[in-house]
Amino acid sequence: MRGCDRPLSEAYDVALLDLDGVVYVGHRPVPGAPEALAKARAAGQRLAFVTNNASRTPGAVAALLTGMGVPADAGDVVTSAQAAARLLAERLPAGSKVLVVGGTGLRHALYAHGLVPVSTAAERPAAVVQGYDPHLSYGLIAQGAQAVLQGALFVASNGDLTIPGGDGPPQPGNGSLMQVIKAATGVDPIVTGKPRRPLHQESIIRTGARNPLIVGDRLDTDIEGAHNGGADSMLVFTGVTDPLTVLTAGPRHRPTYLAADLGGLLVPHPAVRADDDGHRCGGWTARWAGAKIELIGEGDPWDGLRALCGAAWRTEAPVAAEAVADALERLDLP
């Protein structure tokens, strides 16, 4: 974890923002998110909204954001469908047929790259691309499996096993759905969404970012994707990840910065400094005492969490939850 003596909105030219759990939850904006993003833009930072969801078109995502008070147009949105279409266009001749096991977002992305979406294996497609669609039918999945068995290249927009269920439990995501074709054919798909590099590369190509900051709420997609792309990241706690999960994370799941919410774009971030007494941040010091980390001091509880991360992450091996649980209780974080 590093510090930054300037607001992140000034230090990074583009913020590549995850959506659900960061900008909105379900169909409601995260409290304060529209205002924070407006201030980041006013400070000169460009915003791009990066999603693993291949079902919606960029225009539909932009309309959803605009309706929530976050003005956006289609050019501000980067989807896993676009990353999948680019990968296919790089591997196939223009005009190639691609069987779409998914929805409108995938079809639009393929058309934009000069590829022809089809719906049956009888059309002898050169590739099969699968993306999340809540109305996906067994018949279309079966056509995709048949085409893969006939030798078609198999690409999946993303491998997320679950998606947020709104106010209910998580629901099966595309990673679960693609297992049907994988199991039926024995063929592993090429996955383009987070945390794989194709979606990160698509984001850089579309934004022209020179020094991007990945902003997300999930360690296994957003933060790991930032590591895979060689970019810095900011984790927010408005989505699925809690402080204990961060403290016990392995190296590829450790963010560069921590923030309660998107307001973290607007402020400098204190550094965590190590010395003989432990890891210090703000008014807090975290240090190992036997098999546990103890935390002493007072001040901003988020500085306390940063100090704890410094101590917990001093080695590549993840720490056990028992090592940090007592110290974390001192912070009374939401």
- Which residues are catalytically annotated? 18, 20
The CA distance from 286 to 284, in Å, is: 7
Dihedral sign from CA coordinates of 280, 285, 286, 289: positive
Whether residue 272 contacts residue 3, with contact meaning beta carbons closer than 8 Å, is answered with yes
Q: 20, 37, 13: which is closest to 208 by C-alpha?
A: 13
223 closest CA partner among 9, 22, 12: 22
Q: What is d(CA 322, CA 328) in angstroms, rounded to the nearest whole number?
A: 10
Number of H helices, E strands in the chain: 12, 19
Closest CA to 296 of 309, 315, 320, 278: 278
Q: How far apart are CA 192 and CA 81, in angstroms?
A: 8
Q: Which two tokens stand for residue 215?
A: 């902003």
Are the beta carbons of 182 and 188 closer than 8 angstroms? Answer: yes
- Provide the 8-state DSSP code for 193: S
Q: Report the alpha-carbon distance of residue 321 to residue 240 in Å, rounded.
A: 17
- Residue closest to 5 by CA, chosen among 245, 270, 299, 250: 270
